[in-house]
Chain A
């Protein structure tokens, strides 16, 4: 069964550094998402992406964040200047479109980001 994959699984960075988190969505999926989960808290939506543009974003997704689909398979989340509070697990998800509409979201294994 195809799955969403993410790299790296863990990333440690210094405050102020840029990080890029990578995701490979399921191949026939058209909608892509990033969520984050601070340790012990609920999963929070960051951004959704469809047809090469952002379709929805949350208040968390400020100017420090950007997303890109650089090729036909990858979907990336960039944090330009990381802050301590960006430390979290970042999940990528994807969903596909059927005659019944957009189906459920399938999550990747996550990237645990630690900002020091």
Chain B
């Protein structure tokens, strides 16, 4: 089955700096890669997703890049703010099938004011 690995497990950045979180996946059939933000005690919230037919997607301060050949994708947050502090999970799935999401182990991001 699919195996998703995520790095780093913890990340601290100064407010205003950029943060990058990286994930790799093993199943070349995976074609859908969402990113979720989970604040303490709350539900995972989708923040951005990317499908395998594109290499990059951007939404304001958040961007995701995908390298299908290398089977890795990354989340980039620019101009970080304290409210960006949360745990971020990447996931991989085969879109269009209703299949399960395979989640990474999470990255705890702390933005220091």
A45 and B42 contacting across the interface, CB-CB below 8 Å: no
A42–B89 CB distance below 8 A? yes
Q: Is the interface of A mostly helix, strand, loop or mixed?
A: strand
Whether the pair A102, B106 counts as a contact (CB closer than 8 A) is no
Q: Which single member of B44, B99, B106 contacts A56 (CB below 8 Å)?
A: B99
A-B contact count (CB 8 A): 56
- Among A33, A91, A95, A101, the residue within 8 A (CB) of B43 is A91
Within the complex, the shortest CB–CB distance from A7 to chain B, in Å, comes to 14
Whether A100 pairs with B96 at a CB distance below 8 angstroms is yes
Q: A42-B89, A42-B106, A100-B96 are in contact. Are A105 and B43 (CB under 8 A)?
A: no
Closest to B108 in A: A40
Complexed CA–CA distance, A42 and B9 (Å): 11
By size class, the interface of chain A is: 20 to 34
Return A92 CB to nearest CB of chain B, in Å: 10
Q: Other CB < 8 Å A-B pairs besides A41-B105, A50-B98, A107-B43, 20 of them?
A: A4-B43, A42-B103, A42-B104, A42-B106, A43-B44, A43-B103, A45-B101, A45-B103, A55-B98, A56-B99, A58-B100, A91-B44, A97-B98, A100-B96, A101-B96, A102-B98, A104-B32, A104-B34, A107-B45, A110-B43
A–B pairs, 15, beta carbons within 8 Å: A4-B43, A42-B103, A42-B104, A43-B44, A43-B103, A44-B103, A45-B100, A45-B101, A56-B100, A91-B44, A104-B32, A105-B34, A106-B46, A107-B36, A107-B45
